[in-house]
Every structure is written in structure tokens, then in C-alpha cells.
Amino acid sequence: MREALAAAPAGPYAAAAMLTSLPRTRDPLTWCMAIAVVFLIVCLHRLGIPNKIYFDEVHYVKAARKMLLGLPANREHPMLGKEAIAAAMALLGDRPWSWRIPSVLFGALGLHAYGRFIWYLTGRRAVTIMAMVLMATNFVWLVLSRIAMLDMVQAGLGMVALWQVTAAFREPRRHARLRLIAGGLAMGLSLGAKWSIAPILVLPGLTFVALRVRESGWRIIGRKGAGPIPGISLVEAALWLGLVPLAVYWLTYFPGFFWAHKPIDPLGFIEQHRYMLKLQDSVTKLHPYRSVWYMWMVDWRPIWFLYQVTDGAQRGIILLGNPVSMIAGLPALAWCLWAGIKQARWEALALVALYVLTLGVWAINGKPIQFYYHYLLPAAFLAAALALALEALWQRRDRWRWLTPATLAASVGIFVYFYPIISAGALHHGKKSYAQWMWLDSWR
């Protein structure tokens, strides 16, 4: 890696050469599409069960119904996720399958986009495929893709943004401007669904500036043909990666400008967000499933979304992380940090940074009530870190090589084993059926 970086040419394409100097294998586009389609089919299985509102759907489905009537609702969160639910209800009717289909579609889109992002980040076919399999089977992505909440609209669009911007950096001579525009649009829409994505959205602009400084020193403005994307000035990058996302985000509030009761002031951007923060901070009542960031890392405190007799059987849906991949991902993350520092593997460092940012925001957040579903984004980058470490282990060709296929097989196997209790399957041993899967008392 050091030799490749040292050999990178100087001049307008120097920053681009740094990015494209990573090993590059055959593009796994077909695999990315196939895995996303299989995931979509799995999500659609039993999508209408339970045939009623459950868990936090009570907030967002009811909010979508009010929005269809032109009334304000659930004002503490951005609007796009609720707008997606409302649109599905308007098109397909007010029924469970309709409430949940936006999350399914954005979940499948997000998984595909995640694969493309990992491909452009690492240039490694095996890593891309393994990362997609690990994320599709990490339980969290599936469960949140089958419930009418805001998280998957946010995460799916966030992955599209990472895909497009990373592709623009990696292939600066191929539709880079269009990719930056698409990335900026996706950034704004993602933020318009939920704010948790915000730590990620600052990275593309910072990366552009860092690469410009690396190539041009502090003469970063006004140098014709400078990288990391020749033809894109610092001012233009600020437009696509800064102003456009903010403008698109604010436009997601457009229906609220016309509410009959307490409409949003189109010019009241700051006041609107003060009000939203006030509403979010007002939630202080303790919840039995509350948890904090270090519990999420070790899969300690999941959430029961559903456990009751419904649709003719005892059924359950637990939001838990895959015990194999979530725990194995932690030493893999440490390896990525080591490889990034010792071997100058910037893609490994990027995954560590993404994990730390998306988890760290909850570690320093003053919000008193937090839940395991906030681990959705960190878990995605953890899966990629594990895939990168497993590929490195496989390439060593020593006696530990078997751990790579064994870890993948164990992750998929555990997913299949837990599938009934994460997808509202019929449980045939009555009220105590859950005990089969509850390996820790803290999971109960």
C-alpha cells in the first residue's frame, strides 16, 4: 500500500490516484443486486403480521394518518419518513402491509447501496459480498426493514449518499459531478427522515477539503484542475455537499407549511429546530427496554417489539444483534484500526471512523432515553470491518484461515435459527416459547 501511494502521480489527478491505487478486483454488481433482491423477498414474508399497529408504529402510522388530513403530528422528528408512510397509505390503503412497505423498499435499496459503497471504498469483491451478507443477517437491518418507523428511510438514503460520493472520489473522471449531486440530494433526504445520520453527512465535505489540502497545500481555492475531483472547485463542492443537502432537507417540511393548525414557518428554520429539540428533550420517562451505547456494542439489552398471541398464534419480534457477527466485529474493528495505522489502509480507518462517529454521537448525546435500534448505523460499519478482517485472515493462508468461512456460516446459521423470533413467526410452545432463544437473562 505504501508503495502504491508513493507511486501516485503528481498534478491534477494526484488525489484521485491516491484513491484508485487500492487493489481492484472484478466488480460484484450482480452479487450486490442479487443479495438485495433476496433480502427484499425475505422482508416481504409475513410483512402483514401482526395485522395491527405494534411498538413505535403507534407514533408514525398515526402521524401519517393525520398528515393525510393536513394536520400536524409527531412534530419532534423530521417529516420524510412519515411522508413515505402516508404516501404508501394513500396509494395502497390504510393497512399494515402498506404502512411497512416504505421501510422494506428503503431497506433493500439501502442494502444494495451499502454494497456499492463498500465496493468503491475497498475495491475488494470478496469484502463487498461478505459485508452485504453479514449486514443482511445481523438481525437489526431486517427487523427495522419490516416495521413502519423512520430508521430505514434514513439509513437507506444515507447508504445511497455514501455510495454516490465515494464513487465520485474513486472514479473522478466518470460522471463525478452527477454523483456528487445525487449524493447531496440523498444526504438531504436522509436527514429529512431522522437526524441520527447527521455525523456521517459531514464526512464527504471534510474528505474533499482534506484531499485538496493534501494535493495543493493551503492553496485550496482558485487552483485550476486541482483534485480530488478535477473540474470540481471547492465552492462547487460546498454547493453539492453542503447547501444542496440543507435545502433538500428543509423542503421535506413543505407539507407542514400548509397545515391548517400551527403550520411551519417557511422562514423559521432555526425556530422550528429549537421547538423540535425541546420536544425531544421533554421525553424523560424511563422505559424498561432503555439502554446505552456500551450495552449495544456487546449485544446486552435488546428490545421486544412484539410478544403476544396475534394472527392466530403466539408470535414475537425481538430487536437483537446477531450474536456471532456483532461480537466478532469488535476484534475486527480493532484490527482495522491497527491495519489503518500500521499498513496505511485508509479504507480500514474510514470504517473505524464511521463506526466511532455514529456510535459516539449517542455516547455524548444528552438524550435520557436511548434504545438498541440506535445501533443500526454503527452495526452496518461493524459488518464491513468484520468482512475486511475476514478477507485478510483468508489471504494469510495459515492454520487460522478456516475462521473466515466458519464465521460467515455461523452468522448465516444463527440468522436462520433466530428467524422465527425476529420475523413474527408462529411459535408452537405457547407463552414460554421465547426461552429457546433467550441465551442471556438480559435478553428477556
Q: What is the pLDDT of residues 79-106, one digit of tens each?
A: 999 999 999 999 999 999 999 999 999 9
Low-confidence stretches of the chain (pLDDT < 70) are 1-23, 216-226, 366
* DSSP for 209-237, written as a single string: HHHHHHHHTT--SS-TT-SSSTT--HHHH
Say how many CA atoms lie within 13 Å of 135 toward its Cβ: 35
Q: Are strands 313-319 and 303-310 parallel, antiparallel or unpaired?
A: antiparallel
How deeply is 184 buried, as exposed, middle or buried, from its count of CB atoms within 10 A (0-12, 13-18, 19+)?
A: buried
Residue pair 204/117 in contact (Cβ under 8 Å)? The answer is no
- Give the whole-angstrom CA distance, residue 202 versus residue 194: 15
Predicted local distance difference test score (pLDDT) of residue 4: 39
Predicted local distance difference test score (pLDDT) of residue 7: 38
pTM of the full predicted structure?
Answer: 0.93
- Give the whole-angstrom CA distance, residue 77 versus residue 25: 42
pLDDT in tens, 230-270: 889 889 999 999 999 999 999 999 999 999 888 999 999 99
